[in-house]
Amino acid sequence: MANLIPPRFKVVIDYEKCRKCKRCVINCGFGVYSFSDRVIPDHKKCVSCQRCVAYCPEEAITIIENPNVFRPNSYWTMEERINIMKQASSSGMLLTGMGNDRPYKNYFDHLLIDACQVTNPSIDPLREPMELTTYLGSKPDAVKVKVEDGQIKLDTKIAPQIKLDTPIIFSPMSYGSISLNAHKALARAAKECGILMNTGEGGLHKDLYPYKDRIIVQVASGRFGVNQEYLDHSAVVEIKIGQGAKPGIGGHLPGEKVNREVSETRMIPEGTDALSPAPHHDIYSIEDLAQLIYALKEATNYEKPVSVKIAAVHNVAAIASGIARAGADIIYIDGFRGGTGAAPTIIRDHIGIPIELAIAAVDDRLRAEGIRNSVSIVAAGGFRHSGDVAKAIALGADAVAIGTAALIAMGCHVCQMCHTGNCSWGIATQRPELTQRLDPDWAAGQLINLIKSWSLELKEILGALGLNAIESLRGSRERLRGIGLTDTELAILGVKHAGR
């Protein structure tokens, strides 16, 4: 039977340039290349991750989209037709990696940031101090001080706070979905930048224990790797309820990816499926959530903030209000552009809402209820640059989390094939010959550079706004204007249209 699915990409090799060094053969994690008397590509295996292109010393390889494999049709797109063919031949759910790539409206690109001009001068961040320091954790309603021995002392007990040197942290990506070297790079960069990395729901590898002050550990429904030692080696404990790429859907690391070290970190036998369904089967109400929040606070002696991570969904504001009232110190909201190691494509592409709308709705609701101070909001889901970060903070987030951007900094080319575990760049894979490609020191350096660049840009943006602290931008929607948005969209975002 002929293979119905045509190759999506075509590997074009300039044989005049090729000197048969076979570097492409070695570098491809997807097994595209073979070698007999010359390099021969199997086009249908190519995912256009560009590893071979980057490592060909002769620049002899070009990957192109296979021209006209399907008769053009803007409704029955190539993707739709390929997906139908895959399902017709397998009866399975389509699986995908990375974030939702559909062309839904992107609100960040319809928001513009204000700037100072003559009467209200901007600030020169090169000469003036700029404060990006952000504290995550529940803030008291009011602060009382007392005078003791002639010294002014704080009389209000402050809930545990985590100090971030810049309002950007790394998103949860589990060891299992990404490699240990990638995890090490994230941890090193988080320490160097004074921010946080998040283990995701895959447990904490012992090599990361020294970074415990910079680590958020997750407690998901599967409770992988969760024990007292795990909780002790963290700065923040996070209850994972939802994920932007797959709201209402659980995690599932297939048995073949559970090798010895992954099994040790998740504390499950090798080769078994790591199932972490969406519902925590001990949480069916806000009261149940409160019980788990306080169980974790008890277990960590009330010394660590407890975060609750949810996906951005239609009723996110009411849900966030419940979470705040259940005693969470941080609400982590993941928008529908959030990445994933693996999710059913249909879920990723069609469920959830954009993070921009979720931040605004949650911030509004918590303010209206007078409890905005009781939780910090961390927003995630598709932050591409510092402009997105500034806009999110102006909409009401305390800090943002970056996942895909961090992966790109480490070499990811967004081929969207994380779920196959064949990542040629050594990031989203557990294959030893591939994971060794990612040097954690180099990758940490890349991440540090990225965080530093974005932080510099944030300072520049603050300067343009005439502000000298990121605190002053938080929830300051008057400094944003919408462009090309409907009245409803503007109302939800709480911003005026440009020109007003």
Partner 1 sequence: MPEGKVVAMEINAKGMYYRDLNNILREKVAEGVTEFVLQGINGQRYLGTGLKGKVKIEVYGTPGNDLGAFMDGPEITVYGNGQDGIANTMNDGRIVVHGHAGDVLGYGMRGGELYIRDSVGYRVGIHMKEYKKQVPVIVVGGTAGAFFGEYMAGGILVVLGLNKKEGEPLTGDYLGTGMHGGAIYLRGEVEKDILGKEVAEFSLEEEDYRRLNPLLENYAKFYNIALEEIMAVPFKKLVPVSHRPYGKLYTY
Point out which span in 264-272, 322-330, 382-390, 438-446 binds partner 1 (CB under 8 A). Answer: 264-272
Q: Which of 145, 136, 141, 245 is nearest to 200 (CA)?
A: 245
x/- track of binding to partner 1 for residues 203-222 (CB under 8 A): ----------------x-xx
Q: How many residues bind partner 1 (CB under 8 A)?
A: 44
252 near partner 1, rule: CB under 8 A: yes
> According to CB under 8 A, which one of 159, 299, 371, 414 is a site residue for partner 1?
299
Name the token pair of 52: 């071979």
Point out which span in 101-109, 250-258, 305-313, 380-388 binds partner 1 (CB under 8 A). Answer: 250-258
The alpha-helical segments, DSSP class H, found in 383-439 are 386-395, 404-409, 432-435
- In the complex, the smallest distance separating the C-beta of residue 291 from partner 1, rounded to whole angstroms, is 6
x/- track of binding to partner 1 for residues 409-428 (CB under 8 A): ----------xx--------
412 annotated ligand binder: no
x/- track of binding to partner 1 for residues 440-479 (CB under 8 A): ----------------------------------------
Q: Which of 474, 139, 184, 133 is nearest to 305 (CA)?
A: 139
Name the token pair of 444: 């940490």
Instruction: Please list every residue from 328 through 357 that binds partner 1, using CB under 8 A.
Output: 342, 344
3 near partner 1, rule: CB under 8 A: no
21 annotated ligand binder: yes
Point out which span in 240-248, 291-299, 347-355, 449-457 binds partner 1 (CB under 8 A). Answer: 291-299
- CA–chain centroid gap for 296, Å, is 24
177 near partner 1, rule: CB under 8 A: no
Tell me how far apart the alpha carbons of residues 330 and 466 are, in angstroms, rounded to a whole number. 28
**Residue in the block written with tokens 């990409």:** 9
Q: Which of 450, 479, 495, 486 is nearest to 193 (CA)?
A: 450
254 near partner 1, rule: CB under 8 A: yes
Show the CA angle centred on residue 451, arms to residues 448 and 128, nearest 5°.
Answer: 115
> According to CB under 8 A, which one of 138, 234, 243, 263 is a site residue for partner 1?
263
223 near partner 1, rule: CB under 8 A: yes
Tell me how far apart the alpha carbons of residues 498 and 483 are, in angstroms, rounded to a whole number. 6
Pairing of strands 236-240, 306-311: parallel
- CA–chain centroid gap for 31, Å, is 29
293 near partner 1, rule: CB under 8 A: no
Tell me how far apart the alpha carbons of residues 86 and 4 are, in angstroms, rounded to a whole number. 9
CB 304 within 8 A of CB 240: no
Point out which span in 108-116, 262-270, 326-334, 481-489 binds partner 1 (CB under 8 A). Answer: 262-270
301 near partner 1, rule: CB under 8 A: yes
Tell me how far apart the alpha carbons of residues 121 and 119 are, in angstroms, rounded to a whole number. 6
> According to CB under 8 A, which one of 140, 277, 432, 484 is a site residue for partner 1?
277
- Mark 471-493 as b/e (b = at least 16 C-beta within 10 Å): bebbbbbebbbbeebeeebbebb
Binding residues, by number, are 18, 21, 24, 28, 46, 49, 52, 56
Residues near partner 1 (CB under 8 A) are 86-87, 89-95, 219, 221-223, 226-229, 231, 252, 254-255, 263, 267-269, 271-273, 275, 277, 281-282, 291, 294-295, 298-302, 342, 344, 419-420
